[in-house]
Structure 1
Amino acid sequence: MKLNKQRLAAFTILELTVVMLLSAIVIGITYTAYSIMSQSYLNFTNKNEAMGMLIRVDELLRKDFERSEAIALDHHLITFQDSIAIIKYQIEPDFIVRTGLSTDTFKLKTAGVWTDFESNPVTIDEPSTDTAQQIDELSINLLLKADTITYHYHKVYSSQNLIKANAHAVN
């Protein structure tokens, strides 16, 4: 019997093991990089959404302060009244709801709300009166991650609007 001494071109077990080990390392690095990039993108998107909400609430409050003829505080509602519409804001610790022609809910955390009229504080839960109290200033602390951002709004009333609001004013 004659043995065939021809060699076939093939890889050895050791070469295959080294290639599989290197492939596993490359796949592990790729998966880790993908996980890091995915988490960074998610954090970036969430922060941008929160910033967008902050900017939108600021724009709406500024616009409502400018356009309103009267701003009143009634328990937890801040009411903006102009010749066309009435807009109400409900400011809670975990959200802000703006109700007007449409309703917008902003999932923003608040750390404090202060209202004044002619530099005198007007408290939100004023049990002594059943009527809404006029305000001309609003300060609100909004939380974005670990940062506290303070927004301040001020309304300068015309003398005509002040006379309308005060029933005891002399014309």
Structure 2
Amino acid sequence: MGLSMGTGCDSRKGAEYRKLESFMEQRIDLSRLYAPEDLAKSTVRMPGPKIVHYLDSSGCVGCKLQSLRMWNVVRGRMRVPVVLVVHVPDMQAIHAQMKMIHFTLPVLYDTLGSFAATYHIDREAYHTFLLNGRNQPRAVGNPIGSDKIWRLYESAIRSDE
């Protein structure tokens, strides 16, 4: 039998690399998401790079909401818009909780629950990414708490200007 399969870490790394490569080749369409506020609508249409952070109901939603406060800091440091894409069962409750923590960034709601499936961002590692002006991912990973990812984002933003 001439079938050969990679095993162990090398096989997993190769599959992950192919998944990342496929993700980076996509064009992300944010216009299909529900934007209840004008700020979110105008941010989606803005030319230039933007950071997208995806929030779903997996894991500790309360913990995720607390970490959202840091995105106000990120917005100032990166000089690019940050957009939150939310898919949770109770969108009204999450909206109320965001008001309580004074979350001021644009929010888009994935009412159909199709965003993660369409763009294959099932793993948390893919929940934060930088889009270029053509809405193609340029960097993947959460820059909060990671100097390496901060530098990656800053470099990608400079090269896109």
Does TM, scored on the shorter chain, surpass 0.5?
Answer: no
Greater strand share, structure number: 1
TM-score (norm 1): 0.26
Greater relative contact order (Cα < 8 A, sep 6+): 2
TM-score (norm 2): 0.27
Structure exhibiting the larger radius of gyration computed from Cα positions: 1
